[in-house]
Amino acid sequence: MAQKRCRSRGEGMIRRRGHLFQAILYAGIDPVTGKQLYLRESATTEAEAKRILKKFVAQVAAQRHTTTRATLRTTIEAWLDTHELEETTRATYLGYATKHIYPVVGDQPLGKLATFALERFYAELRRCSERCDGRPFVEHRVEGRSHECREVRHKRPPGRPPAGGYPPHDCVEKGCTVVECRQHVCTPLAAATVRKIHFIIRAALTAAERWGWISSNPAELAKIPRAPAPDPDPPTTAEAAALVAAAWEEDFAWGTLVWVAMVTGLRRAELLALRWTDADLDSGTLIIRRNHVRVTGKNIEKDTKTHRSRRIAVDEATVEVLRDHWARFEERCRSIGVPPAASAYLFSYSPTSDRPCDPSGISHRYGRMCARLGIESHLHALRHYSATELLSAGVDLRAVAGRLGHGGGGATTLRVYAAWVGEGDKRAAEILGSRMQRPT
């Protein structure tokens, strides 16, 4: 039997292909490609193919079939184009999709994407971010062309080489570096990163389900890694003092930045977005209105993380530090014949402070300072230091949450800094116990 046609297009057909029987049913027009969509599945017997065809007819009648052959890559791209996202969030999602999702499951049709495939994908990422599956290989520095795996980069004097070539030299004395390809070492992807990747896939498939492209979302049932417990690691009091002293020794502007970051607990983006119009030194307050970030080579100013501005108080010492910072800014402007602008940024490498510092440059400079002092820390740890010091001193949780810009009325603060809240609770218990007289 070559093929057996049904009476109408809506009833489909069964055709013989070698030793198999294929059930085919027309399912309408693909909303993505605009082409005709057919449901196909093969079976070993004609009776089984008839059962499959009957299932197809029921699915199309109930609209429970996949209405497109679009891939997961197409779906994620459509979701990113239509979903309202911050530029920084969009760039982050696109980076995860390009590096991790597209090479593995990006070309998978939506109708064939199963929950098991997603869970296996997440498990592979948790074992190794390169999905090496335990196979050793060499991580080449240069992809796509031949090269020497071990290369000596000699220190050469500036200018053109002499006529007879460079004279021989001692590589150790000159500080020449050796760059070579190395054996791959498995680096598991963090649980938090895998959860973000899952969120991208789940959100895109939820949109596809809403658009009618698929009948159900396989990512809804996929098991993902457990969210890691927050573990802030602030510098100790001695380390904080050493960091501030080292920052002041470098230069006054850098010392002011580290000081303000430590006493306010501001996020890096909030700190760099501060302008002099946001600093009311007479009343001792700072107004946090915006964030400054750099995305794909562009400087962007946007709302705060909670999309609300806030006022925080600063102490007299910090007010004096900021007054000295303003005096140096005024003197610098006078030296180049430009009046100081009130809209200038507090922290800038520009003589007129008309543009903020580069966020990555600030983090790298802080990291180098920590490495020089032998302290394992990062810039965001200053925010942790501010929060933990306040909570340990018994400051109200809601007041700390307000200074940090946490939403949820302190729920985020409590979740992240639970250990230090517990210390404050212990101190409260000791205060109450000391005021009571034990009966004899």
194-213: per-residue pLDDT in tens? 999 999 999 999 999 898 88
Q: What's residue 428's pLDDT? A: 67
User: Which one has a higher pLDDT value, 231 or 322?
Assistant: 322
Q: Cα(255)–Cα(244) distance, rounded to whole angstroms?
A: 6
Q: What's residue 154's pLDDT? A: 86
Q: What is the per-residue DSSP string for 166-184?
A: PPP--HHHHT-EEEE-EE-
**Which residues, 6 or more positions from 105, have their beta carbon under 8 angstroms from its beta carbon?**
72, 113, 117, 118, 121, 201
**Which residues, 6 or more positions from 135, have their beta carbon under 8 angstroms from its beta carbon?**
none
High-pLDDT (> 90) share of the chain, %: 46
How would residue 359 be classed by pLDDT, with cut points 50, 70 and 90?
Answer: very high
Q: What residue segments make up the domains of the chain, in order of their start?
A: 3-62, 72-131+188-220, 237-383
Q: Cα(110)–Cα(214) distance, rounded to whole angstroms?
A: 7
Q: Does residue 5 register a pLDDT over 50?
A: no
- Contact in structure between 113 and 208 (CB atoms under 8 Å): no
pLDDT digit string (tens) for 269-320?
Answer: 999 999 999 999 999 999 999 999 888 778 888 888 888 899 999 999 999 9
- Give, for 14, the enclosing helix (H) or strand (E): strand 13-17
- Superfamily of domain 237-383, CATH level 4: Intergrase catalytic core (1.10.443.10)
Q: Does residue 6 register a pLDDT over 70?
A: no
Residue 160's Cβ-count burial label (10 Å; 0-12, 13-18, 19+) is: exposed
How would residue 12 be classed by pLDDT, with cut points 50, 70 and 90?
Answer: confident
Does the domain formed by 72-131+188-220 have CATH 2.40.50.140?
no
Summary mean pLDDT of the chain = 85
Task: Look at 63-77, 219-233, 256-270 and tell me which has the smallest mean pLDDT.
Answer: 63-77
Q: Does residue 70 register a pLDDT over 70?
A: yes
Q: Do domains 72-131+188-220 and 237-383 have the same CATH topology?
A: no
User: Which one has a higher pLDDT value, 155 or 120?
Assistant: 120
How would residue 438 be classed by pLDDT, with cut points 50, 70 and 90?
Answer: low
Q: Does residue 111 register a pLDDT over 60?
A: yes
Beta bridge mates, 38: 26
Q: What's residue 9's pLDDT? A: 58
Q: What's residue 437's pLDDT? A: 67
Q: What's residue 307's pLDDT? A: 86
- Read off the pLDDT of each residue in 430-437 and give the average, rounded to a whole number: 69
Q: Cα(59)–Cα(216) distance, rounded to whole angstroms?
A: 13
* Strands annotated E in 254-382: 279-280, 285-288, 290-295, 298-303, 310-313
Q: Cα(212)–Cα(367) distance, rounded to whole angstroms?
A: 49
pLDDT digit string (tens) for 235-282?
Answer: 999 999 999 999 999 999 999 999 999 999 999 999 999 999 999 999
How would residue 135 be classed by pLDDT, with cut points 50, 70 and 90?
Answer: confident
**Which residues, 6 or more positions from 153, have their beta carbon under 8 angstroms from its beta carbon?**
176, 177, 178, 179
- Contact in structure between 65 and 39 (CB atoms under 8 Å): yes
Neighbour tally for 179: CB within 10 Å: 12
Where does 11-164 have alpha helices with state H?
A: 46-62, 72-82, 87-96, 102-105, 115-127
3-state SS class at 227: coil
- Contact in structure between 411 and 397 (CB atoms under 8 Å): no
